């Protein structure tokens, strides 16, 4: 993981997206799977969001869920989430590229059509 400078994020505001291995706003930062397992959640997943200066705080574009199994380890949960990420990220890229989802001046997504139209 690399934290971008505030200047870089401001310059490219509304044009940067990130994928995070949890269902934000839960389990921000590093070690999301460990935190999810410790919390005992039954569902986890991934979130693709616009990048803001605050880590893992941008408007959410796409979320995909995965079950958390009783015998999960950090590694097994990470692998299941990676599979979901391989669907979520291309979907988010298409939403942004086709301008179906645009980050508004208020920091919220302006939807121009329905995400299900993909």
20 is catalytic: yes
Q: What is the DSSP letter of 48?
A: E
Taking alpha carbons only, the member of 30, 13, 23, 98 closest to residue 60 is: 23
Q: Which residue has the tokens 């509304």?
A: 14
- Residue among 20, 31, 49, 86 flagged as catalytic: 20
C-alpha–C-alpha distance, residues 49 and 33, integer Å = 18
What residues are labeled active site? 20
């Amino acid at each position: 993981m690399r934290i971008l400078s505030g200047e870089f994020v401001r310059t490219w505001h509304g044009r940067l997206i990130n994928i995070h291995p949890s269902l934000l706003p839960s389990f921000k930062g590093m070690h999301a799977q460990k935190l999810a397992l410790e919390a005992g959640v039954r569902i986890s997943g991934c979130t693709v969001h616009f990048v803001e200066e605050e880590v893992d705080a941008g408007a959410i574009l796409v979320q995909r869920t995965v079950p958390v199994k009783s015998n999960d380890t950090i590694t097994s949960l990470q692998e299941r989430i990676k599979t979901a990420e391989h669907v979520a990220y291309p979907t988010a890229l298409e939403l942004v590229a086709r301008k179906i989802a645009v980050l508004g001046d208020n920091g919220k997504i302006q939807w121009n059509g329905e995400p299900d139209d993909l």
